């Protein structure tokens, strides 16, 4: 009877040990998946070219127009000052 209990206990310990190994492998695999997923997502985000929004484009165009108008006005005023 005692031998049967010892064998059953050994079987239970072996199953517990197997379960611990299985869980540790699953946790390692899950952690590896998360790390690879994060790295790929970061790489994709880095590679994706960011397009300016409509507001940013309009603002840049208006700034360029203002600069062009200011330069044109400065040249006109210089031309008026140079005239006798």
CB contact set of 52 (below 8 Å; sequence gap of 6+): 60
Q: What is the pLDDT of residue 12?
A: 77
Instruction: Please tell me whether residues 46 and 59 are part of one structural domain.
Output: no
Instruction: Please tell me whether residues 43 and 67 are part of one structural domain.
Output: no
Q: Which pair of structure tokens corresponds to residue 5?
A: 């209990």
- pLDDT tens track, the chain, 84 positions: 445 555 667 777 888 888 999 999 999 999 999 999 999 999 888 777 777 888 988 999 999 999 999 999 999 888 887 766
Considering its fold, how many domains does the chain have in total? 2
Contact 52, 60 (CB under 8 A): yes
Instruction: Please tell me whether residues 2 and 27 are part of one structural domain.
Output: yes
Q: Whole-model pTM above 0.75?
A: no
DSSP states of 22-58: HHHHHHHHHHHHHHHHHHHHHHHHHHSPPPPPHHHHH
Q: What is the pLDDT of residue 1?
A: 46
């Amino acid at each position: 009877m005692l031998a049967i209990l010892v064998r059953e206990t050994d079987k239970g310990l072996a199953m517990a040990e197997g379960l611990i190994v299985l869980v540790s492998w699953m946790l390692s695999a899950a952690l590896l998946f998360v790390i690879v997923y994060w790295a790929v997502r970061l790489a994709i985000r880095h590679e994706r070219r960011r397009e300016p929004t409509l507001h940013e484009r309009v603002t840049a165009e208006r700034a360029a127009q203002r600069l062009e108008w200011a330069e044109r006005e400065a040249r006109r005023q210089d031309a008026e000052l140079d005239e006798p």
